[in-house]
A and B are shown apart, each in its own frame.
Chain A
Amino acid sequence: MTATVADAPAAAASNAPIPPKKFGPAIALGVIALLSLVIFGLGTASGASTTFVIARPTDFFKIPSFTLPSQLAAILLSVVGLALAGWTAYRANQRRKVGLWVPVVYGMAIMGALLTWAGAGRDATSIQLTGLLTSSLFLAVPLVFGALAGTLCERSGIINIAIEGQLLAGAFLAALVASMVGNPYVGLIAAPIAGALVGLVLAIFATKYWVNQIVVGVVLNMLVLGLTSFFFSTVMTENGDLNQPLGMPKLAIPLLSKIPVLGPVLFNQNLLVYILYVVVAVLQIMLFRSRWGLRVRAVGEHPKAADTVGIQVNRTRVRNTVLGGAIAGLGGAFFTVASGLAFGKEMTAGKGYIALAAMILGRWSPRGALAAALLFGFADALRAQLGAIGSPIPSQFLAMFPYIATIFAVAGLVGHARPPASEGIPYKK
């Protein structure tokens, strides 16, 4: 959520010779930090303390858990947030960007204040930091894959609302094929095929028949939902062998998984998570550092110019949409084989739409998508943890967080989200 100065098209639209000063992000950060100060800082009973547990019994290095005076810690963390808001305002006054570290540190400070407040005065329970981070990453997996799929499609100019359907199709086929073969890893091969098929239908309707891409996306979501539910209720229910809960074991990477905190969080996960690291890194480099990426972005921004220099616009779009579908389908495997669950009706439960939100908040880049998805995963994991220790915040408000954050992002209140210029517009020669 870095605050960038208005991009060229936005500046051109306002006809101003100098880009206007944008204080929106600074104000938003300041208001949230102030709220944090009042609610988490002053709202905590003085004298209460919060215990944070970092190490887990199985860890190689034992880090002792620590206890902080709740009120002081929450106030200090909120003040850090306020200071960062002030820094953002100062930079905005000079029409300069702030680095990526600002929102990251800011987010950590506010989240820390929230956790301190939630854990205050609960001597029986403590905040399990490592567990929280591990489940954040795990819950973020389908969101990252989905957001990457969206990024690939939209960078080439195709709006992919069908991420939800691609995830669901992937989850379904992964469970079906893995159950038939009896090996969860075969499910990881099947899942992308299902997603790619959904992507192919989207691509054909968008490039060959010029149908509104949002229409196709919404309808494809319905279609996949109907198809998977239908086969679930008929074939899978009649024959339970076709839908077994198969799990993938966690693979601890030697040495790396022994690093305190980060080790168990990052390097003691199952294969799908490691694939995720590779896919994010490869796509980030390919999209922004390779000839292929340049062409894809050209097609998404200015298809006519791309066509003039000999790039096949529609072919690029079809390929990207199919590839994106495959990636989302792979993410769908998270719900079944990677979580050790059997397929269930509507089991993606709107995760595809959160992935869409992560794509927007991540500004159509793989790196950003990863960061935004982790943030949403964290919100989800936090909801579970606060539910466990009995938090005063209703869990529904934490569940709303990703959606509200996205609305703020697209409304330009926090940063400025600009989609590829030609997305959603069919290219007609």
Chain B
Amino acid sequence: MSAETQTTAGEPEQQAPEPSRSRQVLREIAESSSMVVFMAIVASMIIGGVLIILADEAVQESAAYFFSRPGDTFAAIGDALGAAYSAMFNGAVLNLQAESFAAMIKPFTQTLTMATPLIFAGLGLGIGFRAGLFNIGAQGQILMGATFGAYIGFAFSLPWGLHLLLAVLGCALGGALWGFIPGVLKARTGAHEVIVTIMLNYVALYLVAWLLSLEAFQREGSDNPISPLVAETAQYPQILGVQFNLHLGFLLALACAWGVWWLMERSTLGFRLRAVGANPSAARTAGMSIGAATIITMVIAGALAGLAGSAPVLGTQKYLTDAVAGSIGFDAITVALLGRSRPLGIVLAAILFGGLQASGPSLQVNAGLPVDIVVVIQALIVLFIAAPPLVRWMFRLPSPAHEKEVAA
């Protein structure tokens, strides 16, 4: 821990002489004060480490006789932390104990696989944030997308290519529908989208639970609420061969990231959405329709979240359950916040959080730690990033000339 704090102390000087950059995207990254982001991650890792130490049995036992032999306690602390962080690295980046090259890089492909739904959903939420809408409903949109996509996937038999295309479109449609409802309610009645989307998450959950109790969605010969397997023609092909889980959905997610960048930065529609988000009154005065912008934003955001639902049902899990969305919807909020709602930032943030999640099994097996520690670290990172002054105060960083407004 002390080593980490020392390295950080030297870095403010490196940040200072940065000249102004011409490229928009690069400037965004710099202005999001990458220093704060980096420090927030470091701080969260440190706090995560403290929790690991607190919960470690060997540390607790040796701490009982701390004053007679403090060395034991420090050794136990070192062991606990070493085991945890090496398990994380082995589980998310490179497996150094592996014999073959394929097994060695498998963790990183797993990270990218886990990042895929987070990229999709994070992009959707990011568009919402930039248009001034706080969409908490990704969870429900993912579920509905997954339901539509899975149904097309297992109920029909269609030729290769076409089947996958229709299933993917089905996912987008399901999510878009679930995004349209809060959008139209906000535009027509002013109902606050935060409340409506939270409530729709639960409506979607129970709707899917009900659907899975119907014969049309039930797997034959199973009493559990799970759907049949999605037909092979509708599954995402595995792009690195069968020994890796990484599927075509990842490339589609990257393509969507580019598409969202183009939409928001280069198109008239994107300009309108951003204008409405930045200053609704000014946008209205300029003749833009706030209601239309709201509906369009929510539909696009919902469609992207719905595509996030395609990652489990068409890519990894390949069938529908009511738990298919996991916690992707809420994780995606943290991804969008960490990525400052910009496509490149979201892709990087999704890979970071995908890595944290991919390291879960390894943490469990190699370090005996529950996966929940990952959730804690993830939440801490976002909490710190949301409050740059706090991070600057913690690490005694200089404050910038002008403060940028945090998300939404």
Contact check, B195 vs A410: say whether CB atoms are below 8 A apart.
yes
When the two chains form their complex, are residues B189 and A234 in contact, meaning their CB atoms are under 8 A apart?
Answer: no
18 contacts between A and B (CB under 8 A): A205-B386, A211-B406, A212-B408, A214-B194, A215-B337, A219-B382, A222-B334, A223-B375, A225-B375, A226-B376, A226-B377, A226-B379, A227-B372, A234-B55, A238-B57, A397-B206, A407-B199, A410-B191
A165 closest partner in B (C-beta): B379
A403 to B204, CA, bound (A): 10
A411 and B189 alpha carbons, distance in the complex (Å): 6
B408 partner residues in chain A, CB cutoff 8 A: 212, 214-215
* Complex CA distance for A425 and B373, rounded to whole angstroms: 32
Most buried by B among A227, A406, A410: A410
Number of contact residues on B: which range applies? 35 or more
If A209-B386, A211-B386, A229-B372 touch, whether A353 touches B198 (CB-CB below 8 Å) is yes
Q: B-facing mask of A409-427, CB < 8 A → 1, else 0?
A: 0111100000100000000
B272, CB-defined interface residue at 8 Å: no
Q: By DSSP majority rule, is chain A's interface helix, strand, loop, or mixed? A: helix
A219→B379 contact, CB < 8 A:
yes
Q: Are A403 and B379 in contact (CB under 8 A)?
A: no
Could you say which residues of chain B place their CB within 8 Å of the CB of A407?
185, 191, 195-196, 199-200, 203
The interface residues of chain A lying within 8 Å CB-to-CB of B379 are 219-220, 222-223, 226
Q: Who on chain A is nearest to B375 by CB?
A: A226
C-alpha gap A216/B408 in the complex (Å): 12
A184-230 residues at the B interface, CB under 8 angstroms: 205, 209, 211-212, 214-216, 218-223, 225-227, 229-230
Cβ distance B268 to chain A, nearest Cβ, rounded Å: 28
Task: Let me know if B330 is at the binding interface, CB within 8 A.
Answer: yes
Contacts of B374 in A (CB 8 A): 226
15 further A-B contacts with Cβ under 8 Å, apart from A220-B379, A230-B376, are A211-B387, A215-B337, A215-B386, A216-B386, A218-B330, A219-B333, A222-B378, A226-B376, A226-B379, A229-B370, A238-B57, A353-B199, A353-B202, A356-B195, A407-B203
Contact of B134 with A by CB under 8 A: yes
Known: A205-B383, A234-B55. A412 touches B189 (CB 8 A): yes
At the interface, yes or no: A290 with Cβ under 8 Å from chain B? no
**Known contacts A212-B407, A230-B373, A230-B376, A235 near B55 by CB under 8 Å:** yes
Closest residue to A350 on the B side, CB-wise? Answer: B202
A286 touches B (CB below 8 Å): no
Closest B residue to A230 by beta carbon equals B372
Is A253 interfacial (CB-CB < 8 Å)?
no
Contact status A403-B386, CB under 8 Å: no
State how many angstroms separate the Cβ of B384 from the closest Cβ of chain A: 10
Instruction: Name the interface residues of A324-340: CB closer than 8 Å to any CB of B.
Output: none
Known: A396-B209, A404-B199. A216 touches B375 (CB 8 A): no
- Complex Cα–Cα for A350 and B261 (A): 34
Contact partner of B199 (CB less than 8 A), chosen from A220, A229, A234, A406, is A406
Q: Is B195 a contact partner of A400 (Cβ separation < 8 A)?
A: no
Q: Which residues of A contact B (CB under 8 A)?
A: 161, 205, 209, 211-212, 214-216, 218-223, 225-227, 229-231, 233-235, 238, 350, 353, 356-357, 360, 394, 396-397, 399-400, 403-404, 406-407, 410-413, 419
- Output the least CB separation between A297 and chain B (Å): 20
> B171-214 toward A: CB 8 Å interface, digit per residue (1/0)?
00000000000000100011110111011101100110110010
- In the bound complex, residues from chain A placing their C-beta under 8 Å from that of B192 are 410, 419
- Residues of B within 8 Å of A220, CB to CB, are 379, 383
Q: Is the Cβ of B383 less than 8 Å from the Cβ of A234?
A: no
Q: Which residues of A contact B1 (CB under 8 A)?
A: none
Rounded to whole angstroms, the CA-CA distance of A356 and B202 in the bound complex is: 13
Which of B189, B203, B407 is in CB contact (< 8 Å) with A403? B203
Interface residues of B in 343-391 (CB under 8 A from A): 369-370, 372-380, 382-383, 386-387, 389-390
Task: Judge if B276 is at the interface, Cβ distance under 8 Å.
Answer: no
Are A222 and B372 in contact, CB atoms less than 8 angstroms apart?
Answer: no
Contact among A394, A396, A399, A410 with B196 in the assembled complex (CB-CB below 8 Å): A410
Q: Give min CB distance, A221 to chain B, whole Å.
A: 8
- Chain B residues with CB under 8 Å of A356's CB are 195, 198
Chain A neighbourhood of B209, CB < 8 A = 396
In the bound assembly, the distance between CA atoms of A350 and B389 in angstroms comes to 32
Specify the chain B residue showing the minimal Cβ separation from A360.
B195
| Contact digits for B114-142, partner A, Cβ 8 Å, 1 yes 0 no | 00000000000000000000101000000
Chain A's nearest CB lies how many Å from the CB of B131? 15
For B394, the chain A residues whose CB sits under 8 A away are none
